[in-house]
């Protein structure tokens, strides 16, 4: 039995497109599997570097015990310009600068 005349070019093109589609899906699947394996191996080898975030340990999220880090400072808002300034640097107990102090008076 022979194929109809119109199927000679169209059928081969459809077969080629289906083959390319299957190859693209297979490549995406293999890439995803390799990515998951790589991520798991990286987490096993270096748990701190995986994910880009340090996990909180016994010393807290800042790092190992005794590590120096920024100390929390109370910030106060300048009533004139709205800038937040450490409380120790306020001028007259309320303002961020001399300019704001003179504007308020």
Q: In this structure, is residue 35 part of a structural domain?
A: yes
- How far is it, in rounded angstroms, from Cα 92 to Cα 1? 101
Does residue 17 have a pLDDT over 90?
yes
Q: What is the DSSP letter of 95?
A: B
| Domain match, 79 and 43 both | no
User: How far, in whole angstroms, is CA 103 from its chain's centroid?
Assistant: 43
Q: In this structure, is residue 67 part of a structural domain?
A: no
> pLDDT for 49-68, tens place per residue?
555 555 555 555 555 555 56
Q: State residue 22's pLDDT score.
A: 97
Classified as helix, coil or strand, 103 is helix
Does residue 18 have a pLDDT over 90?
yes
Q: In this structure, is residue 2 part of a structural domain?
A: no
Q: In this structure, is residue 42 part of a structural domain?
A: yes
State how many domains the chain has: 2
Neighbours of 58 (CB within 10 A): 6
Contact 85, 75 (CB under 8 A): yes
Residue 81 belongs to domain spanning: 75-104
What is this structure's pTM? 0.39
* Tokens representing residue 34 in the block: 């390799």
Task: Give the pLDDT mean for 85-105.
Answer: 88
| Domain match, 48 and 79 both | no
| Domain match, 47 and 82 both | no
């Amino acid at each position: 039995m022979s194929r109809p005349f119109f199927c000679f070019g169209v059928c081969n093109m459809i077969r080629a497109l289906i083959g390319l589609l299957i190859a693209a899906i297979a490549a995406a699947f293999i890439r995803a599997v390799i990515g998951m394996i790589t991520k798991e191996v990286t987490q096993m080898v270096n748990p701190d570097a995986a994910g880009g975030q340090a996990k909180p340990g016994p010393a807290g999220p800042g790092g190992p015990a005794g590590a120096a880090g920024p100390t929390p400072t109370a910030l106060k808002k300048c009533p004139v310009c709205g800038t937040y300034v450490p409380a120790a640097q306020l001028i007259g107990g309320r303002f961020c600068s001399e300019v704001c102090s003179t504007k308020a008076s």
